[in-house]
Structure 1
Amino acid sequence: MLEYISVSQINAYIGCSLKYKLKYIDKLPPAFTPSALAFGSSIHAAIEWMHKQLMTGNRDDVLKALSIFDADWYASCQGDVRFKSKESQKSLQQTGLKMLKFYDEHLPESKIMAVEQSFTVPIVDFSTGETLDTPLYGIIDLALEDHLIVDFKTAAKALSAQDVDSSLQMTAYSYAYNYKTGQIPNLRIDVLYKTKEPKIDRIPTTRIEKDYVKLFNLAKAVIFAIEAGVFYPISSWRCYDCEFKKYCWLWNGSILGKGADNVEYSNERRTQQTPQAV
């Protein structure tokens, strides 16, 4: 039985169940880190610090946040980061510093109640009362006063209304908050764009009980498939920059093989270890 499931794991399984297995069960090393993932993580580290300072009533100089980004970005780039065309470590560093200076001028005005708040809650079908054996785990980026939950993202292009309204992450945040407090929260996605001139969109959205039921049914199906050992590759646009692509050619049902790093690989089930939530 899985110890817990996260939205990242659910999305990973839906996107490519074989990649889910390679990452969360086999724990094989990725061949590289996509630049967008490394960059977003470094920006997130700096903004988390800024939010925590605001929550404690301190508004220190933005230079500290910039130094946090610089250090995190430098450390990330010591590994194998795959850059897109016209990207480089230096160009993204400059973009990140510009974005953070811009964000410092557009910080949330509402009172901050929590930053990076983790939760582990049972997954319940509110329409029937059925409860899954596996709980839902996650981390809420930002909780503001008046029951407002915020997810923070960096992006190169604008999110559509459909992207926001169908975000499983926001459904999970709303569900967990509702489970713990009995309140259906207000939701917002804050998108900081890494464009030539930085800008930010603050996009509200809502969830209702039927969204929670859909989350339950999706989690139930994914958990069942994982525990049944159903893993196979899905060819899609995601394959182009997939950090586990080098293992795909070894996939052959239950036949054992060796990965590029001489790691034994097969599609047979292994002893389940605690998956890493991202």
Structure 2
Amino acid sequence: MQELKDRVRPVTDKDKGLPTFSYSKIEVFKNCPLQYKFKYMDKKYSQDTSIALELGSLCHYVLETKGKMIASGQAVDYDKLNNILQNGVTETDEKTKEELLGVVQLRRKYFEVWHEADNASGASYEEKIKLFDKVLHEEMEDTTWQPTYFEKPFEFIWDNKVILKGFIDRIDVKDGQYRTVDYKTSKKIYDQSKLATSLQFGIYALAILNEFGELPIESQYRFILIDDEQYALTKGWEKRLIKALDKVFGDIEASENKNLFIPKPTPLCHWCNFCTTNPEATIYKNECEYYSKWTPTQKTFEVNKKWNALENNNTEKKRKLVF
């Protein structure tokens, strides 16, 4: 733990010029540097949304509301929670800066896909909402851990180089020890390879260390639409996390210095706001030429255009001469 303590410290006024990263920003670069360039370098922010994003935000909010009831010593008002779930909230959500639609509105908005079974869990959104109701009544009922912090904001300096910031869905406390919980609305649980050195939970652990002086003893992914869970950060994760962060920030720095952001076409392209196959994409849907042609109904390894390193290096050089 000492090596982590040596690399983590609070943010001061002198640090405000340092580059700022969230876990999601880092993950975008790891998945596709070109998408990272479009979004964070070119500032092409999209307001595109999807049923998965909107339903995920709604379910997060409902669980957060239940957690705050428990933490404040109130009896859980399931009528209120169900009303939020069905009808949404009109006040602006702190994270999304938007109102949250309820199931009634989402069912109408996404009627074409609402009753379709997904290709991983085999369940439709109608079935998932019924399962979520079960999760809602069972979650945070274990009195061993006390749910204490919800949508907990954090900000700290990593290695005197970058500011890491974000929100933690939930932090539980037990006898002065901490557990971080992240709600997922994924169709299936993760491969084991993603759990051993979870970058997301590694960053959350550093945030706990920075604020409370201790590392969490548990890190739990809670899959709230399929009622499952997984634990992350296996033995030795601290050293592996340091290597992973050093590598990704080194790769980002090299890409920015060279102005070279190489695309990584995968099935994830189908959900990218810069990809023409994404049915929810709008203003930037034709931005990328190098996308995978994979779709849920056409599973293929084909790409629209192959990356040519020589061609693109020449393009970047010409741009530098112009500017």
Normalised by the shorter chain, which TM-score bucket? Answer: 0.7 to 0.9
Larger radius of gyration: 2
- Look up the equivalent residue of 2:263 and give its one-letter code: P
The reply on whether 1:5 has 2:38 as its aligned counterpart is no
Is the alpha carbon distance of 1:165 and 1:113 closer, same or farther for their aligned partners in structure 2, counting shifts above 3 Å?
Answer: same
Q: CA deviation at 1:164?
A: 2.1
The reply on whether 1:217 has 2:243 as its aligned counterpart is no
Mapped contact 2:170–2:181 kept (Cα < 8 A) = yes
Is the alpha carbon distance of 1:165 and 1:68 closer, same or farther for their aligned partners in structure 2, counting shifts above 3 Å?
Answer: farther
Q: CA deviation at 1:76?
A: 6.6
Moved more, 172-181 or 157-166: 157-166
The residue number in structure 2 matching 1:271 is: none
- Look up the equivalent residue of 1:113 and give its one-letter code: T
Q: CA deviation at 1:100?
A: 3.1
The residue number in structure 2 matching 1:248 is: 288
Question: 1: distance between equivalents of 2:110 and 2:274?
Answer: 13
In the TM superposition, 1:171-250 aligns within 5 A as: 171-195=202-226, 199-201=227-229, 203=231, 205-206=233-234, 208-225=237-254, 227-228=256-257, 229-245=259-275, 246-249=286-289
Q: CA deviation at 1:40?
A: 1.7
Q: Please report the TM-score for the alignment, with normalisation by the length of structure 2.
A: 0.64
Moved more, 18-27 or 67-76: 67-76
Question: 1: distance between equivalents of 2:136 and 2:153?
Answer: 24
Mapped contact 1:123–1:216 kept (Cα < 8 A) = no
The residue number in structure 2 matching 1:50 is: 66
The reply on whether 1:61 has 2:77 as its aligned counterpart is yes
Q: CA deviation at 1:34?
A: 3.7
SS at match of 1:247: coil
Question: 2: distance between equivalents of 1:68 and 1:225?
Answer: 46
Is the alpha carbon distance of 1:7 and 1:104 closer, same or farther for their aligned partners in structure 2, counting shifts above 3 Å?
Answer: same
Mapped contact 1:73–1:93 kept (Cα < 8 A) = no
The residue number in structure 2 matching 1:275 is: none
The residue number in structure 1 matching 2:170 is: 142
The residue number in structure 2 matching 1:102 is: 135
Q: CA deviation at 1:202?
A: 5.0
- Look up the equivalent residue of 2:265 and give its one-letter code: S
The residue number in structure 1 matching 2:4 is: none
Question: 2: distance between equivalents of 1:79 and 1:151?
Answer: 27
- Look up the equivalent residue of 1:224 and give its one-letter code: E
Q: CA deviation at 1:119?
A: 1.0
SS at match of 2:153: strand
Is the alpha carbon distance of 1:175 and 1:116 closer, same or farther for their aligned partners in structure 2, counting shifts above 3 Å?
Answer: same
Question: 2: distance between equivalents of 1:163 and 1:221?
Answer: 21
Q: CA deviation at 1:42?
A: 1.8
The reply on whether 1:159 has 2:194 as its aligned counterpart is no
- Aligned residue pairs, count: 246
Mapped contact 1:140–1:149 kept (Cα < 8 A) = yes
Is the alpha carbon distance of 1:208 and 1:235 closer, same or farther for their aligned partners in structure 2, counting shifts above 3 Å?
Answer: closer
Moved more, 174-183 or 111-120: 174-183
SS at match of 1:57: coil
SS at match of 1:221: helix
The reply on whether 1:28 has 2:44 as its aligned counterpart is yes
Mapped contact 2:183–2:224 kept (Cα < 8 A) = no
Mapped contact 1:35–1:82 kept (Cα < 8 A) = no
SS at match of 1:42: helix
Answer 1 or 2: higher relative contact order, Cα 8 Å, separation at least 6. Answer: 1
Is the alpha carbon distance of 1:188 and 1:202 closer, same or farther for their aligned partners in structure 2, counting shifts above 3 Å?
Answer: same
Q: Please report the TM-score for the alignment, with normalisation by the length of structure 1.
A: 0.73
Question: RMSD between aligned alpha carbons?
Answer: 3.5
- Look up the equivalent residue of 1:95 and give its one-letter code: K
Is the alpha carbon distance of 1:123 and 1:52 closer, same or farther for their aligned partners in structure 2, counting shifts above 3 Å?
Answer: same
Q: CA deviation at 1:227?
A: 3.6
Question: 1: distance between equivalents of 2:108 and 2:42?
Answer: 24
Mapped contact 2:114–2:126 kept (Cα < 8 A) = no
